[in-house]
Amino acid sequence: MRTALIALLGALAPLLATVLLTAPVASATPPGAASPAAIPAGTALAGATPPGAAPRQAPAVRAAALTEVTGFGSNPSNLQMYLYVPATVTARPAVLVAVHYCGGSGPVFHSGTEFASLADRYGFIVVYPSVTRASKCFDVSSPQALRRGGGSDPVGIRSMVDWATRTYSADTGRVYVTGASSGAMMTNVLLGDYPDVFTAGAAFMGVPFGCFATTDGSEWNSACANGTVSRTPAAWGDLVRGAYPGYSGPRPRMQLWHGTEDDILRHPNLGEEIKQWTNVHGLAQTPALTDAPQSGWTRTRYGSTGAQAPVEAISLQGVGHSLPAGGMAARAITFFGLDGGGSGPGPEPQPGTCRVTVTISAWNTGLTASVTVTNTGTAPVNGWKLGFTLPSGQTITSGWGATYAPATGAVTATNASYNGTIDPAAGVTIGYQANHGGGAAAPSAFTLNGTACTAT
């Protein structure tokens, strides 16, 4: 293990050499001391105080400077919390957790990446967890780390999120996580442990949830790092579902990045992550879109073709263990929707033509349905409602890619925030799980925004 960790740290040395280690870190103001430079009035850092409630005290956090926060809550592995609050934040701001690589720290990741400057531009808050154990690697391998509330690093990071959202009246529906290497592994872990906390993640050079699992206290799993661990999509998905048994809510979207020449966490891990997160979302392994946004890049999107697809993967030809590079953080912010993309008015009924394909997988008293809606018209569909009729005896118990109401009879599925646009000749895949009383037939009578669709 020690040899592998030394190799990892050695590989990161060139990256560390480029980091501005001298960037100032603001300390939290001690109780009773004068506050640092005040955050400008009107920036809505702590949100409006509810009528009749006592005024809330803003923490001693200097605007546009990194500050260490202590006493933020349960923290079984003694992580440090660093916070970056831009000079101007949006009302009910989003929160981004940015997780460093092995050998790094919160301040180093703050200085060496573009997330803080993007926060300045778009008004969200950034939390930088920082490891204090000797290896400076996050725990992504212990049994405690791989289950919700089990202890270790994920619990401490969850506490940081709770502190930030509570203190700044942040939007709990817009909490995101990103990370590089060990931080990318932690991104996978956090989305598995806390799918109800995080809306989406972006993992730069990571491995699937559970791939690094060990039972001997080791922090390193050579088979996983070398890309030799391969499982079926269902097996990978079961590892994620097992982290929070019984959870049936929406799953976070995932963006995955990996270089083909990565010799620390090898490129086959990208394919295994794709298997895992497409299965978690109930999606097929066939991309809805494949393109090349830059020379040497291959991007695949699963579940929809838009910028906020349920799963997006970017493979970078000839790139090693050196992500994120310039401009990639901005693409992650676009995937999250923090740059203003994906917002707009709700769906309106509109004319058009459509085709619906349904695949059913059934067992004794239950089934899952994968529903692909294709726009066969000549204009984009901007905001959609898919109507259909469930066979008698079927009741939807959970779904993904849309909200479903009611659970029986004539159902309407309404687009999610990330898949509301369907371009001509493009499609979006959604799905649901249902109970049945012996009849596992597909639904019928599909309409898209009130217009009848062809069922195939």
Active site residues: 181
Q: At what angle do helices 182-193 and 233-243 cross, to 10 degrees?
A: 70
CB 425 within 8 A of CB 376: yes
Name residue 45's amino acid: L
Main-chain phi, psi angles of 4, to 5 degrees: -65, -40
Peptide bond into 250 cis (omega under 30): no
| Cross-strand bridge partners of residue 276 | none
Tokens of 442: 């597909």
Q: Which residue has the tokens 């490891």?
A: 131
Main-chain phi, psi angles of 204, to 5 degrees: -100, 110
17 Cβ contact partners less than 8 Å away, ≥ 6 residues apart: none
Tokens of 254: 């995932």
The candidate with the shortest Cα–Cα distance to 434, out of 357, 358, 369, is 369
CB 199 within 8 A of CB 175: yes
Q: CA 232: distance to chain centroid? A: 22
Main-chain phi, psi angles of 273, to 5 degrees: -65, -40
Peptide bond into 347 cis (omega under 30): no
CB 345 within 8 A of CB 383: yes
Q: How far is CA 353 from CA 35, 172, 379, 417, 451, in A?
A: 60, 37, 10, 22, 7
Tokens of 40: 């400008």
Q: What H or E segment, with its residue span, contains residue 15?
A: helix 2-17
Q: Burial, 301: exposed, middle or buried (Cβ in 10 Å; 0-12, 13-18, 19+)?
A: buried
Residue ranges in 50-149 assigned as alpha helix (H): 106-112, 115-122
CA angle (181, 273, 147) in 5-degree steps: 80
CB 226 within 8 A of CB 211: no
Q: At what angle do helices 115-122 and 328-336 cross, to 10 degrees?
A: 50
Q: What H or E segment, with its residue span, contains residue 336?
A: helix 328-336
Name residue 343's amino acid: S
